[in-house]
Structure 1
Amino acid sequence: EKQKDPDAYRLLGEVKYELKDYSGSVAAYRNSLS
């Protein structure tokens, strides 16, 4: 099971990166509206 941990952390890192990128896109979209 310990061999799966690095993959899990890498996957979490990718998800966090995509969420951060998404929230940044939403902020840019809101700025373009106002």
Structure 2
Amino acid sequence: GKKMLKPGRWHATFDSDGKIIGFNKILKLIILG
């Protein structure tokens, strides 16, 4: 069978990265605004 990482871990990591990236984008818009 295929070895897959636990969905919970994947989702948590992806969600955290997404929030950090989104925050950085907003911060740049405010600074450059």
Give the TM-score normalised by structure 2.
0.76
Mapping 1:1-34, distance limit 5 Å = 3-30=6-33
Structure 2 gap segments, 5+ residues each: 1-5
Identity of aligned residues (%): 4
Gaps spanning 5+ residues in structure 1: where? none
Q: Any runs of at least 4 consecutive aligned residues in structure 1 with deviations exceeding 2 A, and if so which?
A: none
In structure 2, what is the Cα distance between the partners aligned to 1:22 and 1:4?
A: 27
More helix by share: 1
TM-score of the superposed pair, with normalisation by structure 1: 0.74
Q: CA RMSD in A?
A: 0.6
